Amino acid sequence: MLSKKLNGLKWSLILLTAGVALVQMPSGDKANHDEDDKTSSDKLNGFLAVLAACFSSGFAGVYFEKILKGSTVSLWMRNLQLAFFSIFGGFFMCWLYDSEKIGTDGFFQGYNGVIWIVVLLQAYGGLVIALVVKYAVNVLKMFAISLSVILSSFVS
């Protein structure tokens, strides 16, 4: 989609993915094989769901990179466009689940300093991701997200 060829180093990510999958596989020393048969369809469904999520996420990342790099619209205007369309979904879900509470207590009920910090950090993270995709490549963004998950796990 981006008319780029991946070098050998980037193709090695497939080996990394296969290695992580092999490490996560259970060992073959199970005493009760009947339980394995019952959950094999669940495992297949889970595997197919994760595979579909990986492909759709990868496609969305590459398509987003193509749109950002092939457009004359500024990054800030593109972020405003994306935010504009997400507002409709957000307000619909608020109306669907919390319309009564919002009507009585207001939209920002329960917000405190910690909540506002989380909101600001999420907004800042979205801007940083857009900058990374605009000026770097999608693969670098995925490495950054993986690293942030690992660091968050250690900190928590």
Dihedral over alpha carbons 40, 45, 49, 54 (to 10 degrees)? 40
Compute the average pLDDT of residues 38-42: 71
Question: Is 134's pLDDT higher than 80?
Answer: no
**Residues in CB range of 129: below 8 A, 6 or more apart:** 141, 144
Give the model confidence (pLDDT) of 108-132 as tens digits: 888 999 999 999 998 888 888 777 7
What is the Cα–Cα distance from 156 to 154, expressed in whole angstroms? 6
Give the Cα separation of 17 and 55 in Å (integer).
Answer: 13
The average pLDDT across 28-46 equals 65
**Measured between alpha carbons, how far is 88 from 8 in angstroms, rounded to an integer?**
43
pLDDT digits (tens, 9 = 90+) for 6-22: 677 666 666 766 776 66
Confidence check: pLDDT of 67 > 80: no
Cα(94)–Cα(101) distance, rounded to whole angstroms? 10
